């Protein structure tokens, strides 16, 4: 599981400088990241290494993710995000 310092670093790196991404990533980090299994937390860390344009394209479903596990995480972010709530 994430230490408090690791969580804070991931939360900080979730601030992408692109408002649309901030609106998608920050609520997910605040509500879901601490509860996720360690494997998904590490996958989220890997997700943050991607370029902003790629992240945005994946999250708004303009392009599919080539990595199946990463696609599952992107889908989870979308489902758990208020922006996409019914």
Q: Could you state, in order of their start, the residue ranges of all structural domains in the chain? A: 4-84
- 53-83 pLDDT, tens digit per residue, is 999 999 999 999 999 999 999 999 998 875 5
CB-based contacts of 40: which residues, under 8 Å, 6+ apart?
73, 76
Q: How far is CA 61 from CA 39, 53, 81, 84, in A?
A: 23, 12, 14, 12
Q: What tokens does 70 get?
A: 């990463």
This prediction has a pTM of 0.88
Task: Tell me the CATH number of domain 4-84, given options 1.10.150.250, 3.30.413.10, 2.40.30.60, 3.40.350.10.
Answer: 1.10.150.250
Average pLDDT, the chain: 92
State the Cα torsion 28-39-35-80 to the nearest 10°: 30
């Amino acid at each position: 599981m994430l230490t408090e310092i690791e969580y804070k670093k991931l939360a900080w790196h979730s601030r992408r400088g692109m408002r649309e991404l901030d609106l998608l990533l920050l609520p997910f980090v605040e509500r879901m990241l601490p509860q996720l299994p360690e494997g998904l937390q590490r996958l989220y860390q890997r997700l943050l290494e991607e370029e902003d344009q790629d992240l945005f394209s994946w999250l708004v479903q303009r392009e599919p993710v080539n990595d199946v596990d990463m696609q599952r995480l992107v889908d989870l972010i979308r489902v758990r995000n208020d922006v996409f709530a019914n």
